[in-house]
């Protein structure tokens, strides 16, 4: 009898973008139905800050995708990791694509002056950390050993 093949990927049950979209919908509905700060017009400095957060978030995500493609490693965390990528945005965060999702949600909380999107941002950080980052880090440490531990000690998890 053959032994079952060990899965060569982190055990992420729900894709991180799906988690983001679920929280986005919940926060959006909560804001629509129970918005605490009804503002007729929010503009100027608040929108400028929100747009800057979104621009940085988009840049971070696109740069991370570009670096992963250039290095020949998959973007999808359910596929086997080829190597440790430590260039580009991976020099400042071990999880720049997840950080991008968090910043996008934070940008919404600023743009809409919304406590609901702020709460969703906090829930997103905790959920991504527990459901994606921790399984990925355990997988990468098991697969790459000391090389990954050295990377962990030199680059922060989030920022």
Per 3-state DSSP, what percentage of the chain is helix, strand, and coil (rounded to 5)? 65, 0, 35
Cα gap 94→100, rounded to integer Å: 12
pLDDT reported for residue 112: 86
pLDDT reported for residue 4: 47
| Angle made by CA atoms 68, 146, 90, in degrees to the nearest 5 | 25
Please provide residue 65's backbone torsions phi and psi, each rounded to the nearest 5 degrees.
-60, -45
Number of H helices, E strands in the chain: 6, 0
pLDDT reported for residue 97: 97
| Blockwise average pLDDT, block size 10, the chain, 159 residues | 59 92 96 72 80 97 97 90 94 97 96 92 97 94 95 93
Closest CA to 88 of 76, 77, 79, 97: 97
Q: 94 and 148 in contact (C-beta within 8 Å)?
A: no
Which pTM was predicted?
Answer: 0.88
pLDDT reported for residue 159: 79
pLDDT reported for residue 113: 86
């Amino acid at each position: 009898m053959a032994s079952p093949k060990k899965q060569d990927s982190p055990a992420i049950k729900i894709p991180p973008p799906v988690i983001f979209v679920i929280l986005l919908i919940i926060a959006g509905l909560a804001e629509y139905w129970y918005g605490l700060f009804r503002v007729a017009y929010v503009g100027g400095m608040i929108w400028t800050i929100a747009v800057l957060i979104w621009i940085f978030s988009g840049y971070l995500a696109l740069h991370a995708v570009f670096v992963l493609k250039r290095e020949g490693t998959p973007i999808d965390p359910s596929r086997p990791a080829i190597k440790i990528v430590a260039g580009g945005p991976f020099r400042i965060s071990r999880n720049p694509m997840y950080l991008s999702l968090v910043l996008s949600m934070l940008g919404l909380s600023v743009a809409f002056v919304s406590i609901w999107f702020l709460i969703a941002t906090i829930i997103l950080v905790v959920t991504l950390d527990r459901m994606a980052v921790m399984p990925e880090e355990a997988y990468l440490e098991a697969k790459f050993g000391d090389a990954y531990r050295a990377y962990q000690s030199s680059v922060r998890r989030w920022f």
